[in-house]
A and B are shown apart, each in its own frame.
Chain A
Amino acid sequence: MMKPIRVWAIARKEVVHILRDPRSLMMAIAIPMLLLVLFGYALTLDVDNVPMVVWDQSQSQTSREFISRFDGSRYFSIRQYARDYHEVERSIDTGKALVALIIPTDFGSDIKSGRAAPVQLIVDGGDSNTATIAMGYADFVALNYSQDVAIREIARSGGPKLHPPLDMRPRVWFNAELVSKNYIIPGLIAVIMMVIAALLTSLTVAREWERGTMEQLIATPVKGSELILGKLLPYFALGMLDVLLAVLMGEFLFEVPLRGSVGLLFGMAAVFLVGALSLGMFISIMTRSQLLASQLAMVLTFLPSFLLSGFMYSIANMPPPIQIMTHLIPARYFVVLLKGIYLKGVGLEVLGLNAVLLAVFAVVMVALANFKFRKKLE
């Protein structure tokens, strides 16, 4: 049975280690803040102001009106008016423009005489995300323009004023302005915690093996479980501090609405943290080498939680085999919980299954770490 005195002795020693390495301590706090600031201010998958180059071979009032639809929208930003195809090419090759609009000579007369006017749109397919979105925008602008032309035609020839037949009304739930911050920041908390947990605990046991201090420890009656728990406690406190910081920054700096229960949020965070810390510890126990542990931590914690947890890239859009794999990633469940609590304001009645799975993850990791720790030198 675990003896509290021993756990406390180990925990106290870990606290001293942490406090006496102020640089690591600072970074354990700075890295989450850095990530929050980056994602809150600088990073977005939204596409606006796509740089565009235009080659207007028509130079008519019609064509200029058409072009102004692009210029005036928030989607495109016209960087250059090209004089020939070569300039268009160069623009895209050098990356000065991502999109090129080529208007044929007969554009004006085509539109006036009721014919179809073919306009060429060239996109730089390199950045496929931006390209797809830009194509969609351009399609939209062109369609809208065509519709307006038709309505004007009728009105001019004395016909009744036609209204656009279909009016699509969007309603966005939970995140009305489609502010990508609101969608990114809650999920980011999961990523941050995974990363921090990995950084903090993945080296702690390996370091003691490398330095030789572990040999002394395992020659004493201290149990593996006492060692693990003693080491976990201070890092748990540090991790929860990071969560608190992230939530506070989300609230006051980024004004991400928190609609659900704060208690549930911190409770789930605590469960997740235990699992993540134990995973880090497990890596440390298995490798006994700091260099190796750090590499493994990257692959097992940071990468999957960043890319496959649904934080940034929707799991629903991934190929089915990968979607199945993501069920093994604990961060996935935590991201669902976070988004649910923050944006939807729902509780356990909806999120119960995710909460249970998260708890299972934590229990399994703690068990694994304890199981694998051997008080032997080999």
Chain B
Amino acid sequence: MNTNEAELAVVVRDLEKRFGKFVAVSSVSFEVARGEIFGFLGSNGAGKSTVIRMLVGLLTPTSGSGRVAGFDVGTEAENIKKHIGYMSQKFSLYDDLTVEENINLYSGIYRIDRAKKKQRKEWVLEMAGLRDHRHSRTSILSAGWKQRLALGCAVLHEPEIIFLDEPTSGVDPISRRQFWDLINDLAGKGVTVFVTTHYMDEAEYCDRLGLMDRGELIAVGTPGSVKADLMKDDILDVHCQRPQDAIADIEQLASVKDVALFGRGLHVVVENAEVAIAEIRKSLESKSFVIERIEVIPPTLEDVFVSLIEARDKAMDVRKVAG
């Protein structure tokens, strides 16, 4: 992506963050173009929140550089805060304030001028579906509404970039869907959205993705390219009886790279589908497992992610053994 830097909302080069001896984020580099929905995936503790917090100016990078909205994350953090909106992982609006009072607070903080204040407030209330609850204390709202309110407060001042840290964790699937509708809406209006999540299905909604594992960025690209480029392997969907027992046998097979329970069946990661299917069939039948079906399925992002991580794990073990 060698687009003109002026077109880039976020540019990060070799960003690193240490806490004492612990390296939370190591040598991360990526770019986010204007108007993109950029998703940051990874399991808990991978370093996603730390990256976001550096970009938003809440933490100072130990080394490396980054630019958000044209400002340097190390030295111009306060300028960044004027141009972005942020939603922290933990709900951080005030419990004992009403919905409207929370909105008024952030209205004042962002110095939205009087003419626009009312209009923006009504817009947020409408967007969050909280018109009827404007006078309710935030403490009584359900998680889904709280998140929408937080999102609303983050975009009150119409920022060009918004950073959302796990905005849908703890929220029911329907609310999650609705939340993503809101995000898409905003992106459609030209807002750059930088979002972290550990829900793999949400990753599919993003324009581009970054995958983090243990502080390192292990993959960047569109969902399609990530799946295609990085997933050299095939995925088999195997349904048989007593799948939990079958795992042990399938694991031993030479052509099988990995196998895991998935729903009522098994997902098996293999290098070559044809060879593997034959081997599995032979093994299962010999042990009298009744096979219902075996078929090749397109890999999901979850599959990609898991296999990437396992590859890294194996490499690390090899290094450990070697040195």
A, B from the same assembly: yes
A12 in contact with B105 (CB, 8 Å): yes
**Does A213 make an interface contact (CB < 8 A)?**
yes
Chain A residues closer than 8 Å to B93, beta-carbon distance: 213, 216
Q: Which residue of A lies closest to B79 (CB)?
A: A221
The minimal Cβ–Cβ distance linking A318 to chain B, given in whole angstroms, is 45
A377 in contact with B96 (CB, 8 Å): no
Cα distance A212–B86 in the bound complex, in angstroms: 13
**Partner of A219 from B19, B58, B60, B97 at Cβ < 8 Å:** B58
Cα distance A16–B100 in the bound complex, in angstroms: 12
The minimal Cβ–Cβ distance linking A20 to chain B, given in whole angstroms, is 5
With A17-B96, A21-B96, A216-B86 known as contacts, the answer to whether A12 contacts B78 (CB < 8 A) is: no
Cα distance A211–B78 in the bound complex, in angstroms: 23
A-B CB proximity, top 6 nearest: A9-B108, A216-B92, A219-B86, A212-B92, A212-B90, A377-B58
B81 in contact with A9 (CB, 8 Å): no
**Does A249 make an interface contact (CB < 8 A)?**
no
Interface string of B93-111 (1 = CB under 8 A from A): 1101100010011111111
With A212-B88, A215-B88, A377-B53 known as contacts, the answer to whether A222 contacts B96 (CB < 8 A) is: no
Chain B residues closer than 8 Å to A222, beta-carbon distance: 109
**Does A6 make an interface contact (CB < 8 A)?**
yes
**Partner of B92 from A5, A6, A211 at Cβ < 8 Å:** A211
Q: A16-B97, A17-B96 are in contact. List 8 more A-B contacts (CB 8 A).
A: A5-B111, A9-B107, A12-B105, A13-B101, A21-B96, A221-B78, A221-B82, A375-B57
**Does B240 make an interface contact (CB < 8 A)?**
no
Chain A residues closer than 8 Å to B110, beta-carbon distance: 220-221
A218 in contact with B91 (CB, 8 Å): no
B108 in contact with A376 (CB, 8 Å): no
Cα distance A222–B104 in the bound complex, in angstroms: 14
Of residues 1 to 50 in A, which have CB atoms within 8 Å of B's CB atoms?
3, 5-6, 8-10, 12-13, 16-17, 20-21
Cα distance A241–B57 in the bound complex, in angstroms: 39
Q: Which residue of A lies closest to B101 (CB)?
A: A16
The minimal Cβ–Cβ distance linking A45 to chain B, given in whole angstroms, is 44
Number of interface residues of A (CB under 8 A): 28
**Does B308 make an interface contact (CB < 8 A)?**
no
**Does B56 make an interface contact (CB < 8 A)?**
yes
Chain B residues closer than 8 Å to A17, beta-carbon distance: 94, 96-97
Number of interface residues of B (CB under 8 A): 30
Q: List 25 A-B contacts (CB under 8 A).
A: A3-B111, A5-B111, A6-B108, A6-B109, A9-B105, A10-B105, A10-B109, A12-B108, A13-B101, A16-B96, A20-B96, A212-B90, A212-B92, A213-B94, A214-B92, A215-B58, A215-B88, A218-B58, A219-B81, A220-B110, A221-B81, A376-B58, A376-B59, A377-B53, A378-B19
Chain A residues closer than 8 Å to B109, beta-carbon distance: 6, 9-10, 217, 220-222
The minimal Cβ–Cβ distance linking B283 to chain A, given in whole angstroms, is 52
Chain B residues closer than 8 Å to A13, beta-carbon distance: 94, 97, 101, 105
Chain A residues closer than 8 Å to B105, beta-carbon distance: 9-10, 12-13
Cα distance A13–B86 in the bound complex, in angstroms: 20
Cα distance A21–B97 in the bound complex, in angstroms: 11
Chain A residues closer than 8 Å to B77, beta-carbon distance: 375
Chain B residues closer than 8 Å to A377, beta-carbon distance: 53, 58-59
Chain A residues closer than 8 Å to B59, beta-carbon distance: 376-378
Of residues 81 to 136 in B, which have CB atoms within 8 Å of A's CB atoms?
81-82, 84, 86, 88, 90-94, 96-97, 101, 104-111
Cα distance A10–B59 in the bound complex, in angstroms: 23
Q: Which residue of B lies closest to A214 (CB)?
A: B92
The minimal Cβ–Cβ distance linking A107 to chain B, given in whole angstroms, is 75
Chain A residues closer than 8 Å to B107, beta-carbon distance: 9
**Partner of B104 from A9, A218, A219 at Cβ < 8 Å:** A9
The minimal Cβ–Cβ distance linking A14 to chain B, given in whole angstroms, is 10
Cα distance A3–B109 in the bound complex, in angstroms: 9
The minimal Cβ–Cβ distance linking A65 to chain B, given in whole angstroms, is 73
Cα distance A377–B52 in the bound complex, in angstroms: 12
Cα distance A213–B53 in the bound complex, in angstroms: 15
Of residues 222 to 244 in A, which have CB atoms within 8 Å of B's CB atoms?
222
